[in-house]
A and B are shown apart, each in its own frame.
Chain A
Amino acid sequence: MKMAAKHNAMIIYAALITLSVAWIGLIFAAPWLMAERRFFASTIIYQGFSAVCHQIVERSFHFHGFPLGVCSRCTGVYAGFVIGLALYPFLRNLREDKFPARWILIASAIPVVIDFTGGFLGLFTNTFLSRALTGMLFGAVVAFYITPGLVSAFNDLRASFASSKRIAEAGGGKC
């Protein structure tokens, strides 16, 4: 049972790390492909990311002379998520399927909300650094909620498959 739970957690963790790194890779691939004059592939990636980000050039980091696929805040969030995932095994048991305290998630969102709202309302001018760092903090903390949530979901899924199989096997013995 413990081995199964550990196995499930490793699968989820590996999948999350892979997807997150691939996502970051795509963010950097868009400008790199543009610089390499592979316009079609670059355009596809930029257009895909337009669904999740405003992509304002003046608010985006640049790579190889072109803006990243998402803005500085979004880049911070996704980079923070990867950092959070990297730290996760050192700070929590991978098999843990309970969330950390709620107040941590709310507290991590406060800086990014203040940074966004203050800039939006013109109360102050936020900077690349403030957007990226507040986003990074939020992204790192979110990783500590997404991971146990998905571990719990995967545990439930495998348990329900196993019990369905057990019922089917028990029922198969009937005459």
Chain B
Amino acid sequence: MNELDWKQPVLVGGVVAGLLSVIPVVNIGNCCFCAWMVLGGAIATKMVVDRTPRPVKSGEGAKVGLMAGLIASGMYLVISLLLLVAGIGEGLQRSIFEGIANKSSDPQFQEMIQKVLEASANQTPGQRLIGSLPILILLAVFYIGFSTLGGLLGVALFEKRKDQFPPSQYPPNYPPNYPPQSGPTGGGQGGGQGGWPSA
């Protein structure tokens, strides 16, 4: 993975996914299999595929997707927490809980939800932050997972080159003490084979 130019693609994919996941209304797209996260992973992988002279492996796509997901989830966490502390988005939180309440016709449950909503309306920013942190962390983990899948699927969709994969770093049965060290006579050329060429 060292020879892959992955930093900029990961940043672009992560920022795109992160922004789409926090912009109100637009972030509804994540309700469809975390579409924005999958897209972010796929964008990052597409960029890596375009920049790499040799075929990108599926494992590398997964790693790229994972890292883009980390950036996107980090953005989502930070911005969501800031919005929570500022009290922005309370309406959405309320609608989520009301949606949950509507799933049940049990008056006791609906009363409980109503109490939760009333309590949250009176919370300090600190309390709001602490109360929402576990769920936000859980969502961030989901998002990282879907972004990784996006990276994998990105390789499946965008990598068209075949059968040109780089050699393994070491061939099978590679002796553990190879290459031999230079001797006292200064055998700088080594054992004839030198080091393994990097891709």
Binding site for B on A (CB under 8 A): 1, 31, 34, 37, 39, 43-44, 46-48, 50-55, 57, 66-67, 74, 77, 97-99, 102, 105-106, 142, 145-146, 148-150, 152-157, 159-160, 163, 166, 169-170, 173-174
Contact = CB atoms under 8 A, between A and B. Distances in A.
B58 A97 contact: yes
B58 A152 contact: yes
B153 A166 contact: no
Contact of B58 (A39, A153, A163): A153
Interface residues on B, range: 35 or more
Given A52-B30, A145-B152, A149-B152, 5 more contacts: A31-B103, A51-B142, A105-B156, A152-B62, A170-B178
Nearest to B135: A47
A156 B57 CA distance: 9
A68 to B, nearest CB: 10
A44 B1 CA distance: 38
25 contacts: A37-B106, A37-B108, A43-B113, A46-B103, A48-B139, A48-B142, A50-B96, A51-B143, A52-B30, A52-B142, A53-B32, A57-B102, A97-B59, A98-B58, A102-B157, A105-B153, A145-B156, A149-B62, A149-B153, A152-B59, A153-B59, A157-B59, A160-B169, A163-B169, A170-B178
Nearest to A139: B33
B198 to A, nearest CB: 13
A152 B109 contact: no
A1 B172 contact: yes
Contacts of B60: 153, 156
A51 to B, nearest CB: 4
Contact of A152 (B57, B99, B100, B157): B57
B199 interface: no
A52 B59 contact: no
Contacts of B59: 97, 149-150, 152-157
Interface of B: 1, 28, 30-34, 57-63, 96, 99-100, 102-104, 106, 108-109, 112-113, 135, 138-139, 142-143, 146, 149, 152-153, 155-157, 160, 168-170, 172, 174, 176-178, 181
A166 B170 contact: yes
A116 B160 CA distance: 28
B156 A51 contact: no
Contacts of A106: 157
A150 B62 contact: yes
Contacts, number: 113
Q: Which 10 A-B pairs have the closest CB atoms?
A: A153-B59, A149-B152, A149-B58, A156-B59, A152-B59, A152-B58, A153-B62, A54-B31, A51-B139, A99-B156
Contacts of B160: 102
Contacts of A39: 109, 112
B139 A67 contact: no
Contacts of B108: 37
A84 B118 CA distance: 45
A149 B59 CA distance: 6
Contacts of B58: 97-99, 148-149, 152-153
A174 B176 contact: no
Nearest to A30: B103
A60 to B, nearest CB: 9
